[in-house]
Amino acid sequence: MTDEIKSKDAASGSGGMETTGHVWDGIEELNTPLPRWWLWTLYACIIWAVGYMIVMPAVPFPTSDGWDYTKGLAGYSQRDVVRGEVAKSEASRAIFENRIASADLAEIRNDEDLLAVSLAGGAAAFGDNCAPCHGSGAQGFTGFPNLNDDDWIWGGSLDDIYQTIAHGIRWEEDDDTRYSEMPKFGVDEILEPADISDVVQFVLSLSASEHNAEQAVRGAVVFEDQCSACHGESGQGDRTMGAPNLNDALWLYGGDEAAITQTVTQARYGVMPAWQGRLGDATVKELALYVHALGGGE
Amino acid sequence: MSTSAAGGDGTETPSSLQSSGVPADRKGAPHRIEVDAVNAKAKRSGYAARVKIHPKRVSGRFRSIKWAVMIATLLIYYVTPWLRWTRPGDAPDQAVLIDFQTQRFYFFFIEIWPQEFYYITGLLILAAFGLFLINSVAGRIWCGYMCPQTVWTDLFIYVERFVEGDRNARLRLDKAPLSASKFIKRFIKHAVWLAIAVSTGGAWIFYFADAPTLARELVVLEAPVTAYFSMGIFTFTTYLLGGFAREQVCIYMCPWPRIQGAMFDEDSMAISYRDYRGESRGPHKAGTGWEGRGDCIDCRQCVAACPMGIDIRDGFQLECIQCALCIDACDAIMAKVGRPRGLIDYESEANLERLAKGEPRQSHILRPRTLLYAALIIGVAALMSLTLFTRSTLDANLIRDRNPVFVRLSDGSVRNGFTVRAINKLHETRQLTISITGLEGAIMTRGATHGSPDDLTIVVGPDATKAEKFYVSLPRAALAGTLKGGAANLVFVIQDPVTGQTITEKTSFRGPE
């Protein structure tokens, strides 16, 4: 130390000030004492830290069944804070939920605020409950309809959609479920394979797809007899029966010869659960508005 | 660390102390050697207690400037939130307001939205360059005159002097035992300090809410908790930094003294002692001549006046905030002894050298550094005002649906969904028309959920944004010819028919490949 302190001399370049004796590239480090209050600030921080560890949850320690931690005198818990905030936001949501529950669909549709809340709530509920069957963008899969388009099996008005979601389709636990059953023309031997082949060609002709014209002429007769009761005279479908439109460009089970033959031979019997009991009426309303607003709503 | 390392009466040299410690002639006998513990307690401390500074009152031209700047800056600070500014619609009528609730910053005729925060960045850049420029031309003008720490400390010292008297009286009062009069003086001083501190914190929060309303709420104790909390924090820090910490803030807490070291060059103005003129210093007897000695009579008035507690005659120092009070103090003395003013003065290092050599002083204000700073300031300011005054009161952006990317409809046509988000910066409701061009045969419609499908408008409220969904479909017949690789160009036109403002947004229409 004594030697280092000797570096205190004007010639060393430190301007006559005391240095620590450390020199880098000719630059010396001055040994300026730190103000004492700075030291106190450090002590204050240490005391604060100790106090903080006593008051707040701090030190983890292992127990026989996993890790635990010192809880602190203040009994503070971030989980409680989160729980409180969730409860608060639920309470503020509940105001809207109550209004949605008591309003009818048309009222909600015409109220900008309620509609915005419903669409947001519907989007969340759709992601949780419907996306596995209908896809995250409601784009559908074979057998599970695309809900964005303008083709509705059971109806695309707000009330129709609500009815479908609330009570499901062919969901036997619900008395008000949408119900119909296309006969299994092949399996139950209602039609001969040749008739089936003919009527399939006729169905293909309805949507201007490639087909055998000769067979289609014969198929038209079969269709008139066997199918028009449900699918309509010109194959336009019947929403009360849930019988799809057969002359448009959209197919639930596929529009090629093989898919149609399979449908006619063994029918499909698509099933969707009823949601009202599970999700509650308010959420079903939100879902109906959300699906309606996907672009195809009528 | 103490510098008096050698110990005892100095009969032994440090080198002999470090040898075995037992002189040859004393071998075998109990004896006493002259040694000091190198790490003795007294020498161990790396910390220095603060010595309180009692700046002496001065008057003169720089003191006057400082008073004027103090009054001006305090007025700006306290009065600004109370200025009113009429704005259309239900926009607040406070001239300067940072409104967290609606996320707007109002500054007279300017209103800044959160996404335009880059203006604030621009202002900060301007402030930084401005500081650099002033610094390289005229030294630490900011530190000496305009920094809140300087202004409030000056105000607090003024109060202290008013209540307790000037430097000598204060020194005496500090040493005096506690008496009724000392207690009363201290009590008044702290009370006034606290009053200033409270009103400092009080003024701050008015920048964040309607000032008259908040003032009323504060008085009847109905203001939000955060208002009282911020006020409390500001009260505490003002009281602490202005009343107690003072020069410690500049010396130990503030980064600017370090940064400005890099900003300085030999042509920068600084408060300088003309040692070539002042030395050799020493007391001067009235009536005797000035030959063979310097002008400095070593009266130490410059030291007594210094709020930073330094001796400017030691040369350029980090601690010096360049408030120029020592210039005033010295000028007064020079006038008294009949010597020219300016023994301590604003002067650059280069000029000091020239003058010492008897060369004339030169002014180098225009040099690459200052020109560059000035150019940068002008550039940034010009760019900012250009964008500020040409920015539109209407904005829109377009988001295309990605899930699903397109939807096939029953008649075989293909539909894409687009969300148009319109931003209305006017304080009145506007009806915007939305149309498309650039895609032959495409038809735009609106979802049926709200409003009518053919209503291709967005009604956006005053000072608000609104997002609406629109659908564009392309008939089956047009598909094959139009879509190249499953995509075609499409342009949205968002227009305000009243003002004629038009925004076009390019996007693409997607379909099967």
Domain count, chain A: 3
Q: Is residue B459 part of a domain?
A: yes
pLDDT of residue B44: 60
**What is the three-class DSSP state of B359?**
coil
Q: Which residue has the higher pLDDT, B7 or A187?
A: A187
pLDDT of residue B50: 84
Q: Which residue has the higher pLDDT, B7 or A79?
A: A79
**Run of H or E residues at B345:** strand B344-348
Q: Is residue B402 part of a domain?
A: yes
Q: Which residues on B lie below 8 Å from A39 (Cβ)?
A: 47
Q: Give the helix ranges, DSSP H, for B348-367.
A: 349-356
Residues A225 and A93 in one domain: no
CA B396 to chain A, closest CA, distance in angstroms equals 20
Residues A249 and A288 in one domain: no
Per residue in A272-285, pLDDT (tens digit) is 999 999 999 999 99
Report CA A1 to chain centroid distance, whole Å: 71
pLDDT of residue B258: 87
Confidence class for position A29, pLDDT limits 50, 70, 90: confident
B19: cis peptide before it, omega within 30°?
Answer: no
Q: Is residue A77 part of a domain?
A: no
| Number of helices (H), then strands (E), in chain A | 13, 5
Residues A145 and A286 in one domain: yes
* Residue A104 belongs to domain with CATH number: 1.10.760.10
Residues A59 and A131 in one domain: no
Report CA A94 to chain centroid distance, whole Å: 21
Q: Which residues on B lie below 8 Å from A298 (Cβ)?
A: 448
Q: Is residue B430 part of a domain?
A: yes
**What is the three-class DSSP state of B374?**
helix
Q: Is residue B486 part of a domain?
A: yes
A35-A41-A46-A51 Cα dihedral, nearest 10 degrees = 160
Whether the CB of A139 is below 8 Å from some CB of chain B: the reply is yes
Confidence class for position B4, pLDDT limits 50, 70, 90: very low
- Number of A/B CB contacts below 8 angstroms equals 103
Q: Is residue A61 part of a domain?
A: yes
Whether the CB of B466 is below 8 Å from some CB of chain A: the reply is no
CA B414 to chain A, closest CA, distance in angstroms equals 10
* Residue B506 belongs to domain with CATH number: 2.60.40.10
**Amino acid occupying residue B315:** G
| Number of helices (H), then strands (E), in chain B | 18, 15
Q: Which two tokens stand for residue B298?
A: 């070593």
Q: Bridge partners of B347?
A: B270
Q: Is residue B443 part of a domain?
A: yes
Is the predicted pLDDT of residue A8 greater than 60, yes or no?
A: no
For an interface test with B, give the residue of A109, A115, A148, A247 to mutate (most B CBs within 10 A): A148
Q: Is residue B462 part of a domain?
A: yes
Burial letters for B393-423: b for 16+ Cβ neighbours within 10 Å, e otherwise? ebbbebebbeebebbbbbeebbbbbbebbbb
* Dist CA A147 CA A295 (whole Å): 8
Confidence class for position B8, pLDDT limits 50, 70, 90: very low
Distances (CA, A) of B410 to A160, B111, B138, B510: 19, 49, 77, 17
Tell me what the mean pLDDT of segment B420-442 comes to: 92
Confidence class for position A15, pLDDT limits 50, 70, 90: low
Domain count, chain B: 1
pLDDT of residue B29: 58
Is the predicted pLDDT of residue B177 greater than 70, yes or no?
A: yes
Q: Which residues on A lie below 8 Å from B444 (Cβ)?
A: none
**Run of H or E residues at B258:** helix B256-263
Q: What angle, rounded to 10 degrees, do the helices at B167-175 and B148-164 form?
A: 70
Give yes or no for a contact between B424 and B490, defined as CB atoms under 8 angstroms apart: no
Q: Do A112 and B471 touch (CB under 8 A)?
A: no
Q: Is residue A231 part of a domain?
A: yes
Per residue in A164-223, pLDDT (tens digit) is 999 999 999 999 999 999 999 999 999 999 999 999 999 999 998 899 999 999 999 999
Confidence class for position A5, pLDDT limits 50, 70, 90: very low
**What is the three-class DSSP state of B232?**
helix
Residues A232 and A288 in one domain: no
Q: Cα angle at B486 between B485 and B489, to 5 degrees?
A: 95
pLDDT of residue A2: 38
What is the pTM assigned to this prediction? Answer: 0.73
Q: Which two tokens stand for residue A132?
A: 């596995």
Residues A137 and A205 in one domain: no
For an interface test with B, give the residue of A5, A126, A152, A247 to mutate (most B CBs within 10 A): A5
DSSP state of B337: H
Residue A158 is part of which domain span?
84-168+282-292
Q: Is residue B418 part of a domain?
A: yes
Tell me what the mean pLDDT of segment A124-132 comes to: 96
Residues A109 and A53 in one domain: no
Give yes or no for a contact between B47 and A34, defined as CB atoms under 8 angstroms apart: yes
Q: Give the helix ranges, DSSP H, for chain A.
A: 2-5, 36-55, 78-102, 105-110, 112-129, 131-134, 158-167, 193-206, 213-226, 228-231, 257-266, 276-279, 281-292
Residues A61 and A129 in one domain: no
Q: Is residue A234 part of a domain?
A: yes
Is the predicted pLDDT of residue A150 greater than 90, yes or no?
A: yes
pLDDT of residue B97: 95
Q: B79 exposed, middle or buried (CB, 10 Å; 0-12, 13-18, 19+)?
A: exposed
Predicted complex ipTM:
0.78
Whether the CB of A151 is below 8 Å from some CB of chain B: the reply is yes
pLDDT above 70: percentage of residues in chain B: 92
Per residue in B282-316, pLDDT (tens digit) is 888 888 888 888 999 999 999 999 999 999 998 88
* Dist CA B371 CA B349 (whole Å): 20
CA A3 to chain B, closest CA, distance in angstroms equals 9
Place of tokens 């202002």: B123
Is the predicted pLDDT of residue B5 greater than 70, yes or no?
A: no
Per residue in B315-337, pLDDT (tens digit) is 888 889 999 999 999 999 999 99
Phi, psi of A261 (to 5 degrees): -60, -40
Per residue in B234-273, pLDDT (tens digit) is 999 999 999 999 999 999 899 988 888 778 888 888 999 9
pLDDT above 90: percentage of residues in chain B: 65
Residue B427 is part of which domain span?
394-510
Is the predicted pLDDT of residue B476 greater than 70, yes or no?
A: yes
Confidence class for position A20, pLDDT limits 50, 70, 90: confident
Average pLDDT, chain B: 88
Per residue in B383-401, pLDDT (tens digit) is 999 998 888 889 999 999 9
Residues A137 and A208 in one domain: no
Q: Is residue B480 part of a domain?
A: yes
Q: Give the helix ranges, DSSP H, for B338-399.
A: 349-356, 368-390
Residues A144 and A286 in one domain: yes
Whether the CB of B258 is below 8 Å from some CB of chain A: the reply is no
Name residues 78-107 of chain A within 8 A of B (Cβ): none
Whether the CB of B411 is below 8 Å from some CB of chain A: the reply is yes
Is the predicted pLDDT of residue B16 greater than 80, yes or no?
A: no
